[in-house]
Amino acid sequence: MSGSTPPPFRPVQLATLVDAVPAGDRWLHEMKYDGYRTLVSVGGGEARAYTRSGLDWSDRFPSILADAANLKVRSALIDGEAVVLDGNGRSSFQALQGALKGAPGTIDYYAFDLLELDGDDLTGLPLIERKERLHAVLPADLRHIRYSDHIRGNGEKLLNSFCQAGLEGVISKLATAKYVGSRAGSWVKTKCIKRQEFVIVGWTPSDKSRAFRSLILGVHDDGKLRYAGKVGTGFDTAELFRLMEIMAPLEQKAPTVAAARAEVRGAHWLRPALVAEIAFTEMTNEGTLRHPSYLGLREDKKPEAVVLETEHHAADLPAPATSNVPISNRERVIFPESNITKGQLADHYAAVAEIMLPWVGSRPISLVRCPQGRAKKCFFQKHDAGSFGDKVHHVGVVEKNGHEEPYLYIDDADGLMTCVQMGTIEFHGWGARIEDVEKADRLVFDLDPDVGLDFEVVRSAAFQFRDILKSIGLETFPMVTGGKGVHVIAPLTPRAEWPEVKDFAHRLAQAVAQSDPEHFTAALPKAQRKGRIFVDYLRNQRGATAVMPYSARAREGAPVAAPITWKEMETIDTPAHFHIGDAAELMKRARSKALAGWGRADQTLPDL
């Protein structure tokens, strides 16, 4: 059916690893598939496929997308898993690897959620309703797309039967829960066998052939890449030689991780660029794998995002998108001019966690921490010295000097609230997600007015900027920053890398300043900005950050950065319109028709 376009990518909901299947009829239990998490987007007779990090993988799944394009819908955004089934009907990651190399027609898709349908955002509906609508739009005679069925209750029994059949495990989901594009606690996974991604950091030679004996593995722990053991099984001859070919250009002399010499005798070290899926029975006290087996390379995840996955106790899980983190000193006044306390700030973040996490989660962040309040010493923090505990995670990012540094990231409400407990007022994020820190997923133009300019000038500039970007094919969205200015944001499908993104933003800012020098400048020295708006293009470079939607600001009156529509931009009174007392209104707005689709667009960097 025509008349619409495929909806753009949106962050996917993630499952928390737990030690037991949750009990009770509130939970729906589905098979855990052994494949690639994929969003399928349909509209106007077209279909696209996105990885969990937003990369466009449409060319990899032609048969699935041919089925999807023929669905009797105006538009839809479907969540599911791309898999290959073996002769026993089990999904096989290794078989999927083979199919991606030469037989994409054998790849199937199990659809388990429906996020949008015919222009309506369904993420606020209970899961059971979303699944009913999904089932209704998937005909039974599709060749490559199947509906992922579930059972209600009896999850432990289901897990036992799956494990006996050699399947991977169970995903359990709260039947009444909304869809939250982060780790929200309403989806949990229980595995039959331990398995996760590891970084290939080297190989040891074989004395019997030209191939290797084992791969040397690493994993990020507290933001540093460490030795995690070796894997010497799971390869057939063709894969051995294929890996040798792929690894050859990555060799380096210096050891990639520290390991006992006897463990890695004769090692050929590699730049940490490859990610492998590994099955294992357990991890030793020394942090190495016992009985590991190689399952295949993963192309949907970058080495920087490979961190140790730890089990949570199913009984300790908080309610969805809420936190168990206690907040101390709730009565401490941190905004002295308005008598606002740490407890009130924490209540704001607890209330908006559900709508904030899809933006701030799973991307490197910098924090503005003011432990004694905003009027005392505040400081920026992007690395962790170990004080945040295990709720705030680290992603290793290679700096200009070649050393890897642990950047902070969060992916659930516990992480958000831990930062608040540690005195954080503001959250600023990179323009890329942890799955691929080198590819930008947005452009941000910060329109920063000189002292003395009133907001009318900024308002006018925002519309001017919107029209310029529209003329070169970029859809944009405004956000009031809670400060003096406005952010004009152009979402991107992650494809362009930082040098190209920075160059584009710089040239665009210069072009705007040259075409209207009376109102705009792209000059960095403050003396040259007098009476004009500085187009801050520097947000669009590797390592730069911008304030995140729904973040409070360490400014007088506790203002909040908030998404708005272009229609609202015409009349809003100030960039500090919203404050931390407005959480209920912000929640209502985020779920409104007017802001549906805010900050999301299927577009790439145009030529300039």
Lowest mean pLDDT among 24-28, 29-33, 529-533: 529-533
Show Cβ contacts of residue 515 under 8 Å, excluding neighbours closer than 6 positions.
none
What's the number of domains the chain is made of?
4
Residue 328 class from Cβ within 10 Å (0-12 exposed, 13-18 middle, 19+ buried)? exposed
Tens of pLDDT, residue by residue over 61-119, are 999 999 999 999 999 999 999 999 988 888 989 899 889 988 999 999 999 999 999 99
Residues 458 and 423 in one domain: no
Please check whether residue 153 is in contact with residue 208, taking contact to mean a CB–CB distance below 8 angstroms. no
219 domain residue, yes or no: yes
Residues 455 and 425 in one domain: no
515 domain residue, yes or no: yes
Rounded mean pLDDT, 124-144:
97
Rounded mean pLDDT, 325-339:
96
Number of other residues whose CB lies within 10 A of the CB of residue 20: 15
Paired with 81 in beta bridges are: 37, 110
Residues 241 and 280 in one domain: yes
| β 36-43/46-51 pair status | antiparallel
Torsion, Cα 557 563 567 572, to 10 degrees, reads 10
Rounded mean pLDDT, 269-290:
94
pLDDT at 1 (0 to 100): 41
Residues 110 and 125 in one domain: yes
CATH number of the domain encompassing residue 243: 2.40.50.140
Rounded mean pLDDT, 314-333:
89
| pTM, rounded to two decimals | 0.91
**CA nearest 491: which of 4, 6, 2, 10?**
10
Rounded mean pLDDT, 135-164:
95
pLDDT at 4 (0 to 100): 82
CATH number of the domain encompassing residue 456: 3.90.920.10
Residues 86 and 127 in one domain: yes
């003096």: which residue's tokens?
484
459 domain residue, yes or no: yes
Residues 182 and 213 in one domain: no
319 domain residue, yes or no: no
> Exposure pattern of 53-82 as b/e (b: 16+ CB <10 Å)?
bbbbbbebbebbbebbbebebbbbbbbbbb
Residues 461 and 591 in one domain: yes
Tens of pLDDT, residue by residue over 436-445, are 999 999 999 9
pLDDT at 301 (0 to 100): 84
Does the pLDDT value for residue 210 go beyond 90?
Answer: no
Give kind and range of the element (H or E) at residue 344.
helix 342-360
Q: Please state, in angstroms and rounded to a whole number, the distance separating the CA atoms of residues 339 and 351.
A: 20
Q: What's the domain range around 167? A: 14-191
605 domain residue, yes or no: no
374 domain residue, yes or no: yes
Residues 143 and 165 in one domain: yes
Strand segments, DSSP code E, in 519-595 are 520-521, 533-536, 546-547, 562-563
Tens of pLDDT, residue by residue over 485-523, are 999 999 999 999 999 999 999 999 999 999 889 989 998
Does the pLDDT value for residue 214 go beyond 90?
Answer: yes
Q: Please state, in angstroms and rounded to a whole number, the distance separating the CA atoms of residues 421 and 367.
A: 12
310 domain residue, yes or no: no
Residues 583 and 462 in one domain: yes
Q: Please state, in angstroms and rounded to a whole number, the distance separating the CA atoms of residues 341 and 411.
A: 25
Residues 199 and 186 in one domain: no
**Domain boundary, last residue among 305, 324, 354:** 305
Torsion, Cα 129 131 134 140, to 10 degrees, reads -130
Share of the chain above pLDDT 70, in %: 99
pLDDT at 526 (0 to 100): 82
Residues 392 and 449 in one domain: no
Q: Which are the catalytic amino acids?
A: 32
Residues 227 and 298 in one domain: yes
pLDDT at 385 (0 to 100): 66
570 domain residue, yes or no: yes
